[in-house]
Amino acid sequence: MYLKKRLLALGVAAAAGFSAAPASATLDLQTPVQLQGQGVGAQFTTLFLQGAGNNTTESGGVNFNGSVFGDAGSGNSQSRTFTFGDLGITNANQLGLIVNLAEPGSENPPSVNTANSVLTGTQATMSNTISLNVFSSTGTLLETHTAAAGLQLNQVAAGLGGSGLLFALSPAEVTQLNATIAANAGTEVFTTGATFANAQGGPETIAAARLTAIPPTAIPEPETYAMMLAGLGLLGFVGSRRKKS
């Protein structure tokens, strides 16, 4: 596993100038996934990140109002805010973030490293490593979920929109985020940010997705296998009872 104990990829830092730091949490790295369609517009891309010139560290993100900062690309098909309604989800356990790398093929392997933001203030908070930022409907930053710094993320396949690394909230963080949403009336707005070191040109993207809508290339968890086996066993038991009767 690449990530720390709680969320597969997100680690948090408090920003200078906040009177009260947002709640912190982490994201967990799940598995590589194969996506349908190619290109930025083929997926629900929330962040398009590409460093300028020969800079090997790229850092940026999206503000509550949809504007971008740092090395984030502008345009609705590249970097945007989103809500649960946009993804057709109602619970934090359905939210997935897919990090798609497009590093040059000359690298072996093509990869980047998650890093702390090189920006300052609130922008640093919102773009450390890989960040999921949660805002109230009025623009208050409620909490930020981030990945651990120093993770080496290897490119799964060439080309934007073709594959990526899936990150999701742990059960504890799902509970936390659901509680935060329940305690704040209105529709929460989400943004993403990131900082990648050792980048060789990119671009890198982060897409948001409904987990049940992702093609089933991920390896099921042990609990999933147990439920499947229990279901098969129940069907067998019912069938044998019918034969006897």
70-113 pLDDT, tens digit each: 999 987 778 999 999 999 999 999 999 999 888 876 667 888 99
| CA nearest to 103, candidates 41, 62, 153, 45 | 153
Bridge partners, residue 197, by sequence = 113
What pLDDT shows up at residue 187? 94
Question: What are the phi and psi torsion angles at 148 (to 5°)?
Answer: -70, 150
Residue 160 resides in a domain = yes
What pLDDT shows up at residue 164? 83
Residue 82 resides in a domain = yes
Residue 194 resides in a domain = yes
Residue 131 resides in a domain = yes
Bridge partners, residue 169, by sequence = 27
Cα distances from 215 to residues 11, 21, 87, in angstroms, run 27, 37, 15
pLDDT above 70 as % of the chain: 65
Residue 13 resides in a domain = no
Residue 11 resides in a domain = no
Is the pTM here over 0.85, yes or no? no
Q: Which domain holds residue 205?
A: 23-244
Mean pLDDT of the chain: 77
The list of the chain residues with pLDDT below 70 reads 1-42, 105-107, 158-163, 213-245
Residue 12 resides in a domain = no
What pLDDT shows up at residue 192? 98
Residue 1 resides in a domain = no
What pLDDT shows up at residue 213? 64
Q: Which amino acid is at 165?
A: L
Number of domains in the chain: 1
